A and B are shown apart, each in its own frame.
Chain A
Amino acid sequence: AQSVSQHNHHVILSEAASLELGCNYSYGGTVNLFWYVQYPGQHLQLLLKYFSGDPLVKGIKGFEAEFIKSKFSFNLRKPSVQWSDTAEYFCAVRSSASKIIFGSGTRLSIRP
């Protein structure tokens, strides 16, 4: 069965620190991978996506993620976080059956 695991439930960082949020999925076929972000009081919105090609994808606001097929991982990174990055981050996987499953989310808190 298709599933997504996000290892960190709550991450607290100081401004300018580097960020890496883990995401692992289980599905044997071709997948499309996503990171969505939910800022306080707002809709979920797309941060970045991987469909094919270069496994290192860049998204909005300086975020990037790397697809490592052998590890079934799609970790999210940002070299230097800002207070405005405070939000909840969701990893998602789409299988060939068009089903889009989300991880449980990681809450990111940034200390000013």
Chain B
Amino acid sequence: DAGVIQSPRHEVTEMGQEVTLRCKPISGHNSLFWYRQTMMRGLELLIYFNNNVPIDDSGMPEDRFSAKMPNASFSTLKIQPSEPRDSAVYFCASTQRGVAEANVLTFGAGSRLTVL
């Protein structure tokens, strides 16, 4: 398996632009998590899905952030409009609920976002 695949790896954009981050979880995994990593706040959980359904989005900073999971193999995190304070590394992680190792996350390589 190729692991959790995220794109783009790096994005530099200007304030006000729309940003879309993409994630392909490991095949067979049915839980997907989006995290944001910054120096100041560490690793924050933004939202997670079970079986493509959003379960808890209480970590999403504000209405500018939205996430979707239209099917089991794809998820997006969108920021519109973007602001400089959104600059961070965004990680996607997946796991398989219902089995012994269900709670072990496999992380993607991350998407480093810089908003100028």
Task: Tell whether A pairs with B.
Answer: yes
A44 near B103: Cβ-Cβ < 8 Å = no
B108 in complex: contacting residue of A43, A92, A104, CB < 8 Å: A43
A: interface residue count bin: 20 to 34
A98 near B31: Cβ-Cβ < 8 Å = yes
Say whether B90 faces chain A, with CB atoms less than 8 Å apart.
Answer: no
Interface of A is mostly: strand
Chain A residues with CB below 8 A from B93, complex form? 44
A99 near B48: Cβ-Cβ < 8 Å = yes
Interface residue count for B (Cβ, 8 Å)?
23
Q: Mark B18-48, 1 if CB is under 8 A from A, else 0.
A: 0000000000000101010000011111001
A44 near B41: Cβ-Cβ < 8 Å = no
B43 near A90: Cβ-Cβ < 8 Å = yes
Question: Assuming the A-B contacts A32-B103, A45-B107, are A100 and B45 also in contact, with contact meaning beta carbons closer than 8 angstroms in the complex?
Answer: yes
